[in-house]
Chains A and B, each alone.
Chain A
Amino acid sequence: MKSAVIVFPGSNCDRDIAVALELVTGRKPAMVWHRESELPDGTDFIALPGGFSYGDYLRSGAMAARSPIMGAVRDAAARGVPVIGICNGFQVLTETGLLPGALMRNAGLSFVCRPVPLKVENSQSLFTAAYNSGEEVVFPVAHHDGNYQADEATLDRLEGEGRVAFRYRESVNGSARDIAGILNDAGNVLGLMPHPERVVEAAHGGIDGRRLFEGLLETVA
């Protein structure tokens, strides 16, 4: 798997995802600066990392979504290349329109930083094939703007089409229907607020995130 991690000014989980990808795939991902306009040839997986790109100015992810590299990411996504956006990466994906809805300030207004239980709602996707439907996993969250909101029609469509990939088992940030992660209509773009890349080794306190990358490796490689 030839993966690329997009690095924005203010990204701070770019290294975490790079370490996780190297651990699982045995290959270092290309770190691609946001000012680039093209991805390395043969890129078959793209990760938008967590962090606080541009200091969350204007809206979380808003500036990063208009970076030069995002044109290439959008084209790759349209060709079916799998794209994951974690935390700030999820915010960037909604801001680019690759995923519907928006991530707003947490309902409780506080920054939430703790491991949270999630339910795998759809185990048929590229990203969740190594999980069982309905399985509970624990990923850490660390965000201020993770409150997923969309209009009722969009939420119904996401539910109806099996595009809710992960759901919080408890209210974490006020997200509509406790949505933690969603897929695009083609199923090759996943955005989620929790951090699977932070639970890939026993020393992390959990390895529930590891299967996300292992499952991807199996389907992509």
Chain B
Amino acid sequence: MRAKRADFGPLSVRDLCAAAVDAATGAGAEYADARVVMKRNQFVATKSGRVERLSDSESEGIGVRVLLNGAWGFACDRRLSADGARDAALRACTFARASPAKHSRQLAHVAPASGTHRTPVERDPFDVPLAEKVAQCLEADEAMAGPDILVRQAMVRAQREHKLLLTSEGTEVEQELIECGGGIECAAAHNGVFQMRSYPSAQIGSSCQTGWEYVDGLDLIGEAPRVAEQAAALVRADECPSGVMTVVLDADQVAAQVHESVGHPTELDRVYGTEASYAGTSFLKPDDLGSLRYGSELMNITADPTTPGGLGSFAFDDEGVPAERMPVVEAGLLTGFLTSRETAARIGAGNGGSMRAEGWNRMPLVRMTNLHLEPGEGTLEDLLADVDEGVYMETNRSWSIDDKRLNFQFGTQIAWEIKDGKLGRMLRDATYTGITPQFWGSLNGVAGRACWRLYGSTICGKGQPGQAAHVSHGAAPARFRNVRVGVRS
């Protein structure tokens, strides 16, 4: 579907980008790209029967990136005017010129691209009246009321990002990406024990690049009573025991595990150290490609910016590289990195395709797009059936991983003991810890396609200045042997 260029308003955005690129190349840049981005967000949150937040924000501007004498420069301006475009371009050149490169920078060859893309939607989230969104939240909020429930929260969100990228190499692509999502959460307390329960995921629920039909399909109102009942039960549940045991994770927690221990370490900019001062580096080395055993043979990880509904889906990344599905781990072997044109050239493989910027005022970085653990076979019950003694954990609650993405510790909101292949008593405060390759090496079961779910997160942080990326992960419940469970302070 074609994006409606008129949405940008009366100014010719294409001409502004062209003016910026011309100004940059005229000032000596050997490469330049200009991105105009207009973004709108709506967020509705209710809390214990009251509207807690109802906001509608928009932001627009132009960001210009240049390569001058082998050095990068980036500058941006909120003004979508000839002056704003030119000023941003010249300031980017000034910054690049002031920061001389010690090494030459090459960009992988990409054929100039042109095209448009728009997220297919049945019901545009911005056509849904705010009043309807508020009512949806309040009804779900009310449906969580019950004994021991201290706090009830419901939230829905929507985003439209309309952007045009034009480069000095002739690329000109325009995209309109639409996403929405929602979630519910409640907190319970009893005798000093405090617990939380969320659906469909913690941290602002889950989002999808599609229309409001996704939020309706979440059935927040229908799920609310179960969420509240589980929260209330958790405050009376036993603490998760400690020990080394078999763990079965639900799809949500597997998605978090994929994000932290596969997604970030396979970002090639981290491998080369360019995130060392903030998000960290990676235990992987460029030479590990094709030889490093990441996990068991059941581990198949795919980066796929073409996934329908994925928050990391696009037709072109923010360098204009066409979207392409790509294996990252095949049968446990590392076979791909997430790359930019620059890092791809450095490693001599691929041509990038994972560069994304949070908005017009941030430089594109290597980011996850949609990173999936490919499904295996069978059901959750099949995974459990093969466990004599262990723990089944659901819904991420806490996460932490070291700067090389090796040593991690996760906690989940809820767990159940597994006894003789069946779920037993409910457990609270479940945590597990491990070392990335050993942990994935202990993977010995992944449920099948019917259990595979797509989770969309909007809080993936990276970069200085910081950028929050929206990424999706598809995952199914998975079983891991010999996991250290129940870390105590």
Do the two chains bind?
no
